[in-house]
Amino acid sequence: MRLNALKMNYTVLKTQYSQLEINYTTLQAQYNQLQSQYRQLQSEYSSLMANYTGIINTLSSFKSMAKPTLYYFQSGEVGSFILFLNITNPTSEPMNLTMEVYVGPPLSTDLITLSAIIYAPPNTTLALPLMLALYNSSALEFTGFEWSGGFSGFYSLSMFTRMNLTITILTNKLTNLGLAGVTYNTSIVTALPVNKPFGYAIAYPSSSGMTIYLDNPLPNPIVINSYTVYAYNNTVLVSCKVGTSPTINSTTLTEGLDLPTQSINYSYFSTLVITPNGPVEQTISLGAISCSNNFVFPSSIAQMPYGYVVLNTNIGNITIPLLPGYGWWFS
C-alpha cells in the first residue's frame, strides 16, 4: 500500500518535472527571442542616433556655410556700403544651393528679398552681393540682384550693422535626409571699414560683355584705364584696355558700367549714377576697346560659376566679384 503511494507520488513528480522542463524550454526560447529583439532595437536605436547626429551635424554645417559681411565707408552724414553673403562649400563635391534671404528689423523687408539658385564649386568660398548702397540721413539709394530702388527716411550705419537676416538653404543632401531645408536667423557677423571703391560685376551667358556696379565713396574721382577678368580658379580669361578712360565721380554709385570683353572700335552707353542728391542719367564713352582676345562668357554654370574682375585705375587696382547674371544663377 505504501509502495503504491510512493509510486503514485513519483509519477506525479515526474510529470511535474517534465512540465517544468517544458516550461523552462519555452521560457528559454522566449528569453532568447526577447534578447534578439533587444539587440535589434539596440541596433535600430544606434542607427537612429547616428542618423540624428548626422542630421544635426549637417544642419549645423549648413548654418555655418553662409555668413553676411558688410564693408562700409562713412564720411559725415553720407555713407556707402556693400553687403556680401559669403558662401563656403567645404566639401570635395560641387553643390547646387537654393537660397532665400530676407532682411529683418530694424530695417524693412523691402530692402533685401532674394531667392537664388547658386552653384558652389568644391572647397571654395564665393561672395554673393546682397546690397550695394549709398545713403545719407534722409534717403537711401541701392542696387541689388532682385531690384534697385530708393527710400526716404532716416538711415545710419548702425541700422545696417544691427540688421538681422533670415536665411533658408535647400540642397539635395537635405532632401535626401527628408528635410525641406534649413532656416536660421543671423546678424551681421563682420562689419569692416574700407578706404577704396567697391562693387560687383554681372556677366550674362553667351555674352561678350559684363556690367559693373561700382561705388566710389572717396573724396576724389577715379579713372578706369583697363580691366582683367579672372575665373574663380584664378585663370585669366581676358584683359582689355579702354581708349577713353571712364571717370567715376566722388561719392557716387554707378548702376551699370558696361564693359565689353572683345575688341571693338567704339563703345558708349547710358547709365544711372546715384549721388547724395539723387540719381542722374549719364552717358559714358569708352572709345576703342582693345582686348587680349575676344572672350564670350559660357552658357554653362559649371564652366564659370563665378569669378572676379580687377579694375586698373589711377589709385591702383580694385578687385570686385564677378557673378553670372539673372536667369543663369538666379531663379
- DSSP assignment of 85-99 equals EEEEE-SSS-EEEEE
Q: How far apart are CA 33 and CA 20, in angstroms?
A: 19
Confidence of residue 329 (pLDDT cuts 50, 70, 90): very low
10 Å Cβ neighbour count for 97? Answer: 20
> In the chain, what is the straight-line distance between the N-terminal and C-terminal CA atoms, in Å?
103
Dihedral sign from CA coordinates of 152, 157, 160, 162:
negative
Decide: pTM greater than 0.85: no
Q: What is the pLDDT of residue 213?
A: 94
Average pLDDT over residues 289-313: 90
Confidence of residue 331 (pLDDT cuts 50, 70, 90): very low
Higher local confidence (pLDDT), 146 or 260: 260
Instruction: Measure Cα distances from 187 to 125, 193, 213, 235, 240 in Å.
Output: 19, 17, 25, 34, 39
Residue 78 has pLDDT above 90, yes or no: no
Share of the chain above pLDDT 90, in %: 31
Largest alpha-carbon pair distance within the chain?
Answer: 135
User: Quick check: 192 and 86 in contact, CB under 8 A?
Assistant: no
Tens of pLDDT, residue by residue over 216-236, are: 999 999 999 999 999 988 999
What CATH topology corresponds to 65-193?
A: Immunoglobulin-like (2.60.40)
Q: What is the pLDDT of residue 327?
A: 43
Task: Please state which of the ranges 100-109, 142-151, 261-270 shows the lowest mean pLDDT.
Answer: 142-151
Q: Which residue's C-alpha cell is 531690384?
A: 147
Question: Domain-by-domain residue ranges, the chain?
Answer: 1-63, 65-193, 198-324
